[in-house]
Chains A and B, each alone.
Chain A
Amino acid sequence: MDLQDVQALVKDYSATLSTQFQRLPGSAIIVRYIKNSYQNDPIRSAIELILFLFALKYLLSPSYSMQRGGQVELTDEEIDEQIEDWQPEPLVAELTEEEQHELERRPTIVGPTGPKVKLSNGRTVTNLASNNVFNFIGNDLLKERAIATLRYYGVGACGPPGFYGTKDVDMKAEADIANFIGVPDCIIYSQAFSTISSVIPAFSKRGDIIVADKSVNYAIRKGIEISRSTVYWYEHNNLEDLERVLADVEKTQKRKKKLTRRFIVTEGLFEKSGDIVDLPKIVELKYKYKFRLILDETWSFLTLGRTGRGLTEHLNVDPNEIDMIVGSLANSMCTGGGFCCGSKEIVDHQRISGAAYVFSAALPAIISTTISEIVGIMKANPEMLIALRENISIFRAAVEKSDGILECVSDIANPVVMIRVKPDYLREKGLEDGEDRLLQDIVDEVQAGGFLITRVKTVGNSQSEKKAKVVNGKVKKDSDEGHFMPCLKVYITVAHGKKDLERAGALVRSSATKVLGRKK
C-alpha cells in the first residue's frame, strides 16, 4: 500500500469520525468549550485537563475496603478441619474442688428468714448472715401496708417507668428519699445492682475521665466498663494518691483545649473492706480539681449517720455537695431497687438516659409504699441506730480480745462486721494459703454452735471468672483486683439480744482458736 493510500484512508476515517461526532447531541458545546478554554494559556488548560483526567481515573477505579485484617478466606477442607477440631466446652464448667467443698457446706434456710431461722437439717440457729439490719422483714405494720397496697395496685407495672410504669406511689417514694437525704430530687431504679452501673454510663462517655478507688465493688466496675471512659485508679482509700491522680489529670488536661467531663467514683462504705472514706477531704479535692463526685452509698444508706441518712450525715457533709448519691434499697431497706439522688438536672437527665431506668420495668407498688413507710420509721425512730451501734460494739468487744488471734477490720459503725485472722499469726503458722478453707471451717464450727455467719465470697474469685478474664491469651487488666481480703462476715441487727451477741462473739473467737489450733 502506498503512502498516499494510507493518507487518504486516514483522511477518510477522520472525516467520518468528525461527522459522526458532530452528529452527537451536544458535540458543538464541547467543541466550543474546548476552543474557549484553551485561550492561549497552556498551563491553565493543562491543570484543567489533569483534573479532568484525575476525576475520570477516580470514577473508573474499583472500590475496595479499608478494613485491614478483616476476614480470612477459608477453603471447604479448612472449614471442615476447623469443625472437626472444635471441642465445645460444657455450658457449665465442672466444679473445682473448692467450689464442690463450698457447695456442700452451704446452709439452706427453710421457711421465712428473720433473726432466728430454721435450717434444712432441722436445727434452729440465730441468723447473723442476712442483711436485715432493722428487722423490717419481721415488721407487721409493713406487712399490713404491703397487703393493702397489693389489693389496690396489683403486683407489678410490667412496663418501664417512662411507659405506663410510673405510679403515684413511685413518685412519692422518690420524693420521700430525696427529702430524707436532703437533696432536691431522686430517681428510683428497679435493681440495686444496675443502679450504679447505669448511672455512671449515663453521665460519663468515651473520652471522659473517671478517677476511681481500686477496690470499688463489682457493680461500679461494670458501670465504668460500660461507660467506655478513660479510667485512672487510685490506691484504696489513699487520698494522697487520689490527689496525685487528680493533679496529674488536670495537668494533662490543661495542655489540651478539649474539655471533658471528669468524675471521682468511690464507695461510701466499702463492700470489700468495710471501711469508710474521708468524705470532707474528697469533697475538698473535688472542688479544688473541678471534678464531679459519684458516691455509692449501697452499704452506708440507713446504717450510717445519726438517723441513717448515710455517710453524708455520718461525717457532717452537706449532701448537696455531692453530685450523685447512689444507694441500694435492697440492703438495709429490705425492699428492692436502688436510687440515685442529686440536683434536679442530674435526676432528669437519667430519666431519658439511664439505661436501667429506661429499659426495665418499674418497681411494684408494694415496694414503693414500703420504701415510704420505712423512711417514715427511720425518721421517727433514730434510737434504732443507737441500739444498732451498741449491738455492734458488744459483738466486736466479744470477738476482739487483746491476746486473741482475730481482729475486726470494718468500721466501728458498720453493721457488717468483717473479721480476719491476724496476718502475723497466719504467717507464723504458715497458713497463708487456703485461708478461705480455714474461714469456712470456722463458719461451720460457729454454725454447729447455733449461729449462722458467713464469709467474704466475691465475684471474680472463682476459677471460671479467672478464666473469663483471659482474652486472646492475655490477662485482661481493668485494675488491680487484689483487694479481696479473706474475712468472716457477721451481720449485726437490732433484733438480736445482747446476750446472744456476746455468746456469738465468744463462739467466733473460740471456734477460730479451735480450728487454727487443729492445724499443728
Chain B
Amino acid sequence: MPDTKGRRRRSSSLIYLEPPESLEQRSDQAALPNLNANWVNSKGAWSIHIVIIICFKIFYDTVPGVSQETSWTLTNISYMAGSYLMFHWVQGIPFEFNAGAYDNLNMWEQMDNGDQYTPTKKFLLAVPIALFLLSTHYTHYDLTYFTVNCLAVLAVVIPKLPSTHRMRFGLFSSQDD
C-alpha cells in the first residue's frame, strides 16, 4: 500500500504544514544540485530585481494618461505579483534532475535548502519593503493607493516569514493532496 501518512491533511483544517521529507526523498534532493533555486545566489541575480523594477517604472511612465501615483502603484503591484508567482506559487522544478523530490516545495522553500535568514533571503525581503516605502511616498500618501500597496507587500512578506515555512492554505482541499 502507498505511504499515506504525512501527505494526508485533516479534513477540516485550512492550514497544514508540509511534512518533512522521507530519507529516500532527501537523498533524491541531494542527488544533483537544485538548478531551479541555486541561481538566486549567483552574480547579477540580486541586481536584476532593481533593474526589473526600474524597467517597470519606465514602462508605466511611457503609457499615456498614467499619473505618477498610478505609475508607482502599478510598478509596485507588478513586482509583487511577479515575485509572488515566482517564489511562492509555483511548486516543483521544471527539470528532471531530482526524480520529483521537490514537487511539493515552492521556490522560496527550495532556496538555500530551506535555511532561514540567509543573505539572499534577506535581500529578497528588503527589496519589496523598500519598494513599498518608496511607492507610498511618491503616491503622496493617498489612502487608496496606500491600502493597495500595503496589501500587495503583505502578500509577499508574509509567505517569506520563517514561521510560514512549508505552510499551505487551502479552502476546499479537504482530501489528501
Contact = CB atoms under 8 A, between A and B. Distances in A.
Contacts of B157: 51, 54
B87 interface: no
Interface stretch (A226-234, A385-393, A394-402, A428-436): A226-234
Interface string A227-254: 0101110000000000000000000100
Contact of A206 (B101, B118, B126): B101
A52 B130 CA distance: 8
Contacts of A256: 175-177
Nearest to B115: A65
Interface string A199-223: 0000001110000000000000000
Given A41-B141, A228-B99, A63 B114 contact: no
Contact of B137 (A33, A59, A63, A353): A33
B117 A44 contact: no
A232 B119 CA distance: 44
A63 B126 contact: no
B115 to A, nearest CB: 5
B117 A63 contact: yes
Given A37-B141, A47-B150, A256-B175, A52 B117 contact: no
Contact of A62 (B24, B117, B129, B136): B117
A39 B176 CA distance: 50
A64 interface: yes
A44 B141 contact: yes
A207 B113 contact: no
B165 A66 contact: yes
Interface string A250-274: 0010011010000000000000000
A63 B129 contact: no
B131 to A, nearest CB: 11
Nearest to B99: A228
A251 B33 CA distance: 37
A33 B165 CA distance: 34
Given A58-B117, A63-B117, A255-B175, A68 B20 contact: yes
A182 to B, nearest CB: 32
B163 to A, nearest CB: 12
A108 interface: no
Interface residues of B, number: 36
Contact of B2 (A62, A230, A255): A230
Contacts of B1: 232
Interface in A32-47: 33, 36-37, 39, 41, 44, 47
- Counting chain B CB atoms within 10 Å of each CB, the highest count among A33, A52, A59 belongs to A59
B175 A51 contact: no
Contact of A51 (B119, B129, B143): B129
A62 B116 CA distance: 8
A65 B113 contact: yes
A34 B158 CA distance: 26
Contact of A66 (B2, B99, B114, B125): B114
Contacts of B117: 58, 61-64
Nearest to A228: B99
B146 interface: yes
Contacts of A68: 20
A3 interface: no
A48 interface: yes
B100 interface: yes
A255 B172 CA distance: 11
B153 A51 contact: yes
A37 B138 CA distance: 10
A55 interface: yes
Interface in A50-109: 51-52, 54-55, 58-59, 61-68
A232 B1 CA distance: 6
Contacts of A232: 1-2
Given A44-B141, A48-B133, A231-B2, A58 B114 contact: no
Contacts of A231: 2
A37 B119 CA distance: 29
Nearest to B112: A63
Nearest to B24: A228
A214 B143 CA distance: 66
A230 B103 CA distance: 14
A447 to B, nearest CB: 44
B122 interface: yes
Interface string B122-150: 10011001101100110001010010001
Nearest to A48: B133
- Counting chain B CB atoms within 10 Å of each CB, the highest count among A54, A63, A353 belongs to A63
B28 interface: yes
A207 B100 contact: yes
- Counting chain A CB atoms within 10 Å of each CB, the highest count among B117, B118, B150, B157 belongs to B117
Interface in B71-97: 96
A66 B116 contact: yes
Contacts of A52: 129, 133
Contacts of A33: 137
Nearest to A66: B114
Contacts of A61: 116-117
Contacts of A47: 150
Nearest to A225: B24
A55 B99 contact: no
A330 B132 CA distance: 68
11 contacts: A37-B141, A44-B143, A55-B125, A55-B129, A58-B117, A58-B125, A58-B126, A63-B115, A65-B114, A206-B99, A206-B100
| Leading 10 A-B pairs by shortest Cβ distance | A206-B100, A63-B117, A66-B114, A230-B2, A55-B129, A61-B117, A255-B175, A65-B115, A63-B118, A39-B141
Given A59-B125, A66-B115, A206-B99, 16 more contacts: A36-B137, A36-B141, A39-B141, A41-B141, A44-B143, A48-B133, A51-B129, A54-B129, A63-B118, A65-B113, A67-B114, A206-B100, A206-B101, A207-B103, A228-B99, A230-B2
